[in-house]
Amino acid sequence: MARGLLGRRCNQREAKLFRTSAPHRQQLLCPVLWVSRKGLLLIMATAQPMEQLDRDTYYELWCQWDYEPGEDGHPFEPKAADWGWYDGRPVAVDYSPLEDT
């Protein structure tokens, strides 16, 4: 559930990013199942918390995003709290940078 306008914008951005990303990028994002029209509620698939995220693992995930010139950058951060395990693979569970909202 969003906290304020910024939270609603982040929820809407995450839903849009998941929906519009190429399949290889969707594999790095926790699936968005539903978002309310104004972004108050965002429902994602359940991911198991990631306890640690070392630099090498994050770098591999970062490279898999396959940054393209003209984009805002990578939508995730290198902290374990923003990542989880879904369907046997690491996925970003928080992928809405504040500067992009």
DSSP 11-54: HHHHHHHHHHS-HHHHTTBPPEEEE-TTSS-EEE---EEPS---
Residue in the structure block whose two tokens are 């910024």: 6
Q: pLDDT per residue over 37-59, tens digit each?
A: 999 999 999 999 999 999 999 99
5-22 residue pLDDT tens: 999 999 999 999 999 999
On the question of pLDDT at 24 being above 70, the answer is: yes
pTM: 0.89
